Structure 1
Amino acid sequence: MRTWYRANLGGLPGAYWYLWAGTLINRLGGFAVLFLSLYLTSARGLSPAAAGLVVGAHGVGGALGVLAGGVLADRWGRRSTLLACHAAATVLMLALAFSPWLPVITVVTALIGFAQQMAPPAFVAAIVDVVPEPDRTRAFNLQFWAVNLGMAGASLLAGMVAEVSFTLLFTLDATATFITFVILLLRVPETGAARESGTAPNEPRGGLHTALTDRTFLTFVGLTFVLAVLTLQTSTILPLAMRADGLRPSAYGLVTAFAGVLIVLGQLFVPRLITGRVKGRVLAVAVALLGLGIGMVGGADTLPVYLVAAAVWTAGSMLAAPPNAEINAELSPPELRGRYQSVFYLTFPAAGFVAPAVGGWSLEHLGNWHWALCGLVGVLAAVGHLLASPARERRVAATIATPPRVSAASGRR
């Protein structure tokens, strides 16, 4: 047990654990987005189409918030950005809980998306700042585990709370956000550009355009986008396939819960499997497994087969999470780390639009061949990782060999 503890949990900085705790609490209390559409249709009387537009406002705000969070994490610092977005999200969530007017609800929902999505680039940049490179596999693995554990807990709790009161649901979400704010305020130091006390943060050389013209980085982001689109097939298009096979919604819930349990139980053992291996090869295996599992849906017509497919694609997701985050960190220049994170995190709202839109069209016109196509895309993405890996490795090696640029602010250290 002691050996397992040291291999998986030991040696990580205290600041990391407070960031980890904040992530877990945020996800565990992240009720609002899960039940927002149900709240709008049942409690506010909106049509599904109108509710979709309001929820879409959350997504648009989130996309803008990701970019703002990355820029501010570099300019203000990671801690300052995290404190600002959590304070804003707390107030906005309370406003959503008690606002009776639809126009206000729509605007507040968009602002909540903006505030909430400011956090991920700053969170990840802070983790990269405080965790030494040899420990990042474990750190990102544990973060992925916390996200899934929190989401699983939120899914269970939110349903029970929603049956009591939607106002209570949003209030508890605001409370969890505020608890995270307090943890960050009291226990997490500034780790980014503004960490030198008494000095203004140095304006980094470059900006968003640097990340958006970095070919090696954009190749990696593109492959991550493919991974995200494939992953979202399991939450957006899979229920349609299961319904067509005559399975009840509870069957889809069981498949989702099964995948979540596998992650909670198995994710902590992933570092031992992948440590010391070439990250590009690990990602290639991961995306191939993801594609294989999703491709198996085309031949599935009973719940046991769906569960086997879920086990395969979940294994791919588990293997992909740590190296994906590590490569993202390695390719990000320290002075532009927040901006690079924001470009990386844009893949997820983009995939959130493309996956259901293209996937729904594909399923309607191609039938079960849609799933075979997903499997082929997974294989092609795996090949892409193998081809792109040498250039990424050379880039990282060159970065390590080059001394960091000493700025006016850092020269005093």
Structure 2
Amino acid sequence: MSRLEPLPLTVRLLLLARVVNQLGAFSLPFLTALICTDHGASLTTAGLVTAVFGLTTIPSRLAGGGLADRIGPRTTIVLGLCGCAVAQLAIAASPSLTCAVAGAVVLGLAFELHEPPSQAIIGESVPEPQRVRAFSLFSAALAAGAMGGGLLAALLGRWDLRWLFVTDAATCLACALLIRSALPHDRPAPPGARQDDSAVRPLRDRRLLNVLATGTAYALINQQTVMTLPLALARQGLPAADAGLLFTATAATTVLAQPLIRLPWTSRLTTPVALALAHLLLAAGLVGYALSGTLPALLASAVVWSLGDLLVMGRVYALVTDLAPPGGSGRYLAVFGTGWGIAATLAPLLGTQLLARAGTTTLWSTMAALCLALATLHLRVTPRSPGPGTVAKAVRHRVSDPA
């Protein structure tokens, strides 16, 4: 079957590089904890700083899509990863709260540059029937790196939170080197061959805006399980570094449960139904967080949450790619990705305030209720993935395998 054919070499090399990057991509959830413990900031101040970081990721994501079209995806990915490394080293070495905030701003501006070109390479190099599988494997590759990363976070976090940012910077540089060495050179389109910008208008596509709205709400919930989780654990009397173990359980589930994507009944689900089912699983996992008071119970809840997350990631990115007109997948993915920036801005503000005023049970119960609302909404507003005969095909193999 075509969906079981090997992925293009370019995509496989990209997945390998991102695994290396993800081995260290565990520092961000501990940014608020670092600001509180090392710089004496209040919980509210820490939430504001993290919100500023989230706000700066919005122009970063849009710039990533634009730069990929102008200077090429490989160069854009390398630029973003190097910028992240510089910012993380600055945060690790910051002698004051002001310097840490400046580092967080620079990190936000670089943080999302590499995502649109990475996703566009996958979307444009893989045939439409294989896109859900390809994006699910991309999520699994990130999770595979996160498994080791979560264990490192649990170890280094007990020693010194600053070393989390140093390690993250090192893996960003290693990933940039792999991308620079292994991926084919960027090939600018010849004059006259480039897609007319007037034909690619993501913000005028109502279908994309519907997906962006529900995707932003999902990202807001997702970010609570990343940014706010260490603080929530501390409120429950558990070490904040135990969040690394929960991240590892989440990542392991994402990797080991990949065969679920290929089951016949899963493949037959329409995108709205699959996303509704995913959000029911997310709600169940969050209810578990709300009711759990021990690490084993929290780990079990993380597994349930991860099964829902697995169903979301492959489906939603394949859907956005399918909705894009020829040559427009990078910009469609960039616009869709701004939802993560919005969520990263609002999540720490909402999460820290709920924790401070109502506690962990209310935080996770509120997020579970939002998941239930999204499950219903997906059945009403989420478009089905356009079929091969109804969607304008994205330009494929713009970044072709080396001969």
Same-fold status (TM-score > 0.5): yes
- 1:346-357 maps to which residues of 2 (within 5 A)? 346-357=338-349
Q: Is the 8 A contact 2:23 2:148 kept in 1?
A: yes
Structure 2: stretches of 5+ with no match in the other structure: 396-403
- Is 1:384 the counterpart of 2:380? The answer is no
Conserved in 1, the CA contact under 8 Å of 2:29 and 2:228?
no
Query: Which residue matches 1:286?
Result: 278
- Which residue pairs with 1:331 in the alignment? 323
Alignment correspondent of 2:218: 227
Structure with the greater alpha carbon radius of gyration: 1
Alignment of 1:194-209 (within 5 A): 194-196=187-189, 199=191, 202=194, 204-206=196-198
SS in 1 for 2:269: coil
* Residue 25 in structure 1 maps to residue 58 in structure 2: no
Change (3 A) 1:174 1:295: closer
Answer whether contact 2:58 2:341 (CA < 8 A) is retained.
Answer: yes
**CA–CA distance in 2 between the matches of 1:155 and 1:284?**
29
RMSD: 3.8
- 3-state SS of the aligned residue for 2:202? helix
Cα separation, 2, equivalents of 1:186 and 1:206: 35
Give the Cα separation in 2 of the matches to 1:359 and 1:95: 26
- Measure the CA separation in 2 of the matches of 1:15 and 1:115: 23
Structure 1 counterpart of 2:7, from 4, 12, 16? 12
Q: 1:108 Cα deviation (Å)?
A: 3.5
Distance, in Å, in 1 between the alignment partners of 2:99 and 2:354 is 36
5 Å-filtered alignment, 1:10-409, equals 11-40=6-35, 45-48=39-42, 52-97=47-92, 100=95, 103-161=98-156, 169-189=164-184, 194-196=187-189, 199=191, 202=194, 204-206=196-198, 210-235=201-226, 248-249=238-239, 255-272=246-263, 274-295=266-287, 297=289, 306-358=298-350, 364=357, 374-389=367-382, 391-393=383-385, 397-400=389-392
Q: Aligned-pair distance for 1:188? A: 1.5
Paired residue secondary structure (1:333): coil
CA shift, 1:289, in A, is 1.9
TM-score by length of 1: 0.78
Indicate conservation of the 8 Å contact 2:246/2:298, yes or no: yes
The one-character-per-residue Cα deviations of 1:229-250 (angstroms, maximum 9, x if unpaired) are: 3334444666787777x66347
Change (3 A) 1:131 1:165: same
Whole-angstrom CA distance in 1 between matches of 2:250 and 2:308: 11
Aligned mates of 1:106, 1:361 — CA distance in 2: 20
Report the CA distance shift for 1:131/1:367 in structure 2 as closer, same or farther (over 3 A): closer
1:268/1:120 CA distance change after superposition, 3 Å: farther
Give 1:135 deviation, angstroms. Answer: 2.0
Partner-residue secondary structure (3-state), 1:340: helix
Q: How many aligned residue pairs are there?
A: 391
Alpha-carbon distance in structure 1 between the residues aligned to 2:230 and 2:23: 24
- 3-state SS, counterpart of residue 346 of structure 1: helix
Aligned with 2:113: secondary structure?
helix
Q: SS at the partner of 1:399?
A: coil
Cα deviation 1:115-155 (Å, max 9, x = unaligned): 12111111101111222222222211111112222223223
1:271-327 C-alpha deviation (Å, 9 max, x unpaired) = 335334322221121112212332455555666655554443222112222111111
Q: Larger relative CO (CA 8 A, sep 6+): 1 or 2?
A: 2
Bigger Cα displacement from structure 2, 181-190 vs 301-310: 301-310
The DSSP-based 3-state class of the residue aligned with 2:324 is: coil
d(CA) in 2 for partners of 1:367, 1:35 = 17
**What is the alpha-carbon distance in structure 1 between the residues aligned to residue 18 and residue 254 of structure 2?**
16
Q: How far apart, CA to CA, are the structure 2 residues paired with 1:163 and 1:263?
A: 26
Distance 1:234 1:172, change over 3 A: closer
- Contact residue 149 and residue 248 of structure 2 kept, 8 A: no
Match of 1:411 in 2: none
8 Å contact kept, 1:262–1:311 = yes
Paired residues of 1:205 and 1:335 also in contact (CA < 8 A)? no
Following TM superposition, by how much is the alpha carbon of 1:393 offset from its aligned partner in structure 2, in angstroms? 4.1
Cα displacement (A) at 1:41: 5.1
Name the stretch that deviates more: 125-134 or 49-58.
49-58
1:94 Cα offset (Å): 4.4
Query: Structure 1 CA distance, aligned partners of 2:159 and 2:238?
Result: 25
**In the TM superposition, what whole-angstrom CA distance separates every residue of 1:360-384 from its partner, at most 9, and x where no partner exists?**
6667569967766544433332232
